[in-house]
């Protein structure tokens, strides 16, 4: 072979002759191939042992609960406000008062429909109830701790004021939320681009990152910064194990994409409920990062944790973009996404590139989960609730393109937050999905996607 194909050479890769050796059709020696299932089994068993030992045992079935936090930018946590919960038949199911952190919780007798009422007379004089009034209707599932939010306004720009100030505040909140979606969906897009797999289990990588960081921060007493760094490594390891133990063997057996899609759905369900068994069904915050007072920046206000989330997201996404453009592995990833066979013919180790993509996707998803846990607390199904928005961002930007996933996620995040001007915040995620439908009707390939001829 004298020259690499043009489509591979344009990515800046230098063609080299393929070195052949006696292999058993898998790129590894026959001896190692025979030991590989045992090695992978031991790795998975070791990871499971770590979770079993480190986490505080297998959580027993926890009862149903409603909970929340009352806090505003100016007043901070609000203490001494009475919350009353009544069942569908009008009987009082429980009552609680907010503590010094503004938090409250009420244990329920069972699943069902409940009405949560706040005593507005207990609020400070400068704090008013926003849209929705003093009651909330919630449907609590079995074993679920259901968060309940009451909109409060204290007169600050970010506290629900009207006019242009509220729009700007929602735009900033949407930017933060869109960056979180992008952090999670870039890995999902890279996995699709290099393997063609639509991975529904990617949402559980988000949850795993947040859960590991929560344990290291709360149970082990580690500062959240170092807990997050270690959680990133664990997220990368879990992502790599996904490929080594499941997806690479399925690719070598020629498993179709539809069958792989079904496998990913089953894997997602299994991981989600294993996390629920271990972690429990309640919402759990990190230590020292709840109920921060927002800082007024004039046109908008942000807490320190929200500002840190935006800065970290921007830095990481810029580094990923530079990696894709400037590094050898990044060029190899783009070549494999462009055409796997042509990339392999130029000497690229496709399996190694795909393994790196899975590890990178796991680390990015874990980081997204950690940052999401800062604002929404850590929950066993937090990744699943974000999954449809991740798919919306990836599809909107253009399937298989990392930059498309970034742009699409930003559009979805901003639209979801701004849509609360006209629709209730409880169903704001629907706005992002409606936007996806409208844009795909106009431009089916997505914002940065290219047209593909079918048939």
Min mean pLDDT across 51-55, 195-199, 305-309, 440-444 is at 51-55
* pLDDT score of 159 more than 80: no
Q: Which residue, chain included where needed, has tokens 């760094």?
A: 229
Q: What are 93's two structure tokens?
A: 């199911």
Q: Rounded to whole angstroms, how far apart are CA atoms 56 and 398?
A: 42
* Strand boundaries in 59-134, DSSP class E: 65-69, 71-72, 76-77, 82-87, 92-97, 103-107, 112-118, 128-129
| 352 vs 6 pLDDT, higher one | 352
* pLDDT score of 278 more than 70: yes
C-beta neighbour count of 328 within 10 angstroms: 12
Q: Rounded to whole angstroms, how far apart are CA atoms 106 and 197?
A: 42
Q: Rounded to whole angstroms, how far apart are CA atoms 99 and 2?
A: 74
| 89 vs 355 pLDDT, higher one | 355
Q: What is the CATH number of domain 164-442?
A: 1.10.3470
What is the rounded end-to-end Cα distance, in angstroms, of the chain?
32
User: Whole-prediction pTM value?
Assistant: 0.74
Q: Rounded to whole angstroms, how far apart are CA atoms 154 and 138?
A: 25
Q: What are 316's two structure tokens?
A: 């990481």
Task: Identify the band that residue 292 occupies on the pLDDT scale cut at 50, 70 and 90.
Answer: confident
* pLDDT score of 160 more than 80: no
Task: Identify the band that residue 12 occupies on the pLDDT scale cut at 50, 70 and 90.
Answer: low
Quick one: pLDDT at residue 434?
A: 83
Q: Rounded to whole angstroms, how far apart are CA atoms 428 and 422?
A: 10
* pLDDT per residue as tens digits for the range 185-228: 999 999 999 999 999 999 999 999 999 999 999 999 999 999 99
Q: Which CATH number fits domain 68-155: 2.60.40.10, 3.30.930.10, 3.40.50.170, 2.40.320.10?
A: 2.60.40.10
Q: How far is CA 455 from CA 218, 311, 365, 397, 452, in A?
A: 55, 45, 36, 24, 10
Q: Rounded to whole angstroms, how far apart are CA atoms 326 and 186?
A: 17
* pLDDT per residue as tens digits for the range 370-419: 999 988 889 899 999 899 899 989 988 887 778 888 999 999 999 998 88
Query: Which helix (H) or strand (E) is 438 found in, with range?
Result: helix 429-442
Instruction: Kindly give, in sequence order, each residue whose CB lies less than 8 Å from that of residue 76, ignoring residues fewer than 6 positions away.
Output: 102, 291, 293
Quick one: pLDDT at residue 409?
A: 92
Query: Which helix (H) or strand (E) is 112 found in, with range?
Result: strand 112-118
* pLDDT score of 67 more than 90: no
Query: Which helix (H) or strand (E) is 361 found in, with range?
Result: helix 350-376
Q: Return the sign of the alpha-carbon dihedral for residues 131, 132, 136, 137.
A: negative
Question: For the chain, how long is the longest CA-to-CA vector?
Answer: 82
Instruction: Kindly give, in sequence order, each residue whose CB lies less than 8 Å from that of residue 162, ignoring residues fewer than 6 positions away.
Output: none
Rg (C-alpha) for the chain, rounded Å, is 24
Q: Residue 113 — left, alpha, or beta (φ > 0 → left; ψ -120 to 50 → alpha)?
A: beta
Q: Rounded to whole angstroms, how far apart are CA atoms 382 and 2?
A: 51
Domain boundaries of the chain, sorted by first residue = 68-155, 164-442
DSSP 176-238: HHHHHHHHHHHHHHHHHHHH----TTHHHHHHHHHHHHHIIIIIS---HHHHHHHHHHHHHHH
Quick one: pLDDT at residue 135?
A: 87
* pLDDT score of 421 more than 80: yes
The listed range with the strongest mean pLDDT (52-61, 266-275, 386-395) is 266-275
| 58 vs 166 pLDDT, higher one | 166
Distance of CA 159 to the CA centre of its chain: 26
Mean pLDDT, to the nearest integer, of 94-112?
87
Nearest to 413 by CA among 239, 174, 142: 174
Q: What are 173's two structure tokens?
A: 């909140």
Q: How far is CA 76 from CA 249, 293, 294, 435, in A?
A: 53, 5, 8, 35
């Amino acid at each position: 072979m004298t020259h690499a194909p043009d489509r591979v050479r344009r990515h800046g890769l230098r063609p080299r002759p393929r070195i052949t050796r006696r292999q058993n059709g898998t790129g590894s020696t026959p001896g190692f191939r025979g030991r590989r299932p045992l090695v992978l089994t031991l790795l998975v068993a070791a990871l499971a042992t770590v979770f079993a030992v480190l986490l505080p045992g297998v959580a027993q079935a926890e009862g149903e609960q409603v909970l929340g936090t009352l806090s505003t930018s100016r007043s901070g946590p609000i203490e001494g406000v009475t919350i009353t919960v009544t069942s569908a038949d009008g009987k009082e199911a429980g009552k609680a008062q907010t503590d010094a952190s503004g938090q409250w919780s009420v244990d329920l007798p069972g699943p069902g429909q409940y009405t949560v009422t706040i005593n507005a007379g207990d609020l400070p004089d400068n704090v008013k109830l926003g849209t929705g009034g003093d009651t909330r209707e919630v449907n609590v599932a079995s074993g679920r701790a259901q968060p309940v939010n009451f909109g409060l306004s204290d007169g600050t720009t970010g506290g629900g004021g009207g006019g242009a100030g509220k729009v700007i505040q929602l735009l900033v909140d949407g930017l933060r939320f869109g960056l979180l979606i992008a952090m999670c969906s870039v890995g999902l897009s890279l996995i699709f681009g290099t393997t063609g797999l639509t991975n529904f289990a990617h949402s559980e990588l988000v949850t795993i990152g947040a859960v590991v960081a929560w344990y290291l921060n709360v149970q082990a007493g580690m500062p959240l910064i170092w807990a997050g760094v270690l959680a990133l490594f664990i997220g990368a390891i879990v992502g790599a194990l996904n490929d080594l133990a499941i997806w690479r063997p399925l690719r070598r057996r020629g498993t179709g994409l539809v069958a792989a899609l079904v496998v990913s759905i089953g894997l997602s369900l299994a991981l989600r409920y294993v996390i629920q068994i271990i972690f429990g069904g309640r919402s759990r915050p990190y230590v020292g990062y709840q109920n921060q007072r927002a800082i007024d920046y004039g046109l908008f206000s942000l807490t320190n944790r929200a500002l840190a989330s935006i800065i970290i997201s921007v830095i990481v996404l810029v580094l990923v973009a530079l990696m894709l453009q400037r590094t050898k592995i990044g060029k190899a990833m783009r070549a494999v996404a462009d055409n796997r066979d042509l990339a392999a013919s130029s000497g690229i180790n496709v399996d190694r590139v795909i393994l790196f993509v899975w590890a990178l996707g796991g680390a990015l998803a874990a980081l997204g989960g950690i940052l999401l846990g800062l604002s929404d607390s850590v929950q066993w199904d937090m990744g699943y609730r974000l999954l449809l928005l991740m798919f919306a961002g990836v599809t909107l930007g253009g399937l298989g393109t990392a930059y498309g996933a970034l742009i699409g996620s930003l559009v979805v995040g901003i639209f979801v937050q701004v849509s609360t001007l006209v629709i209730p915040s409880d169903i704001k995620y629907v706005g992002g999905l409606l936007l996806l439908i409208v844009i795909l009707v106009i431009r089916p390939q997505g914002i940065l996607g290219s047209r593909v001829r079918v048939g």
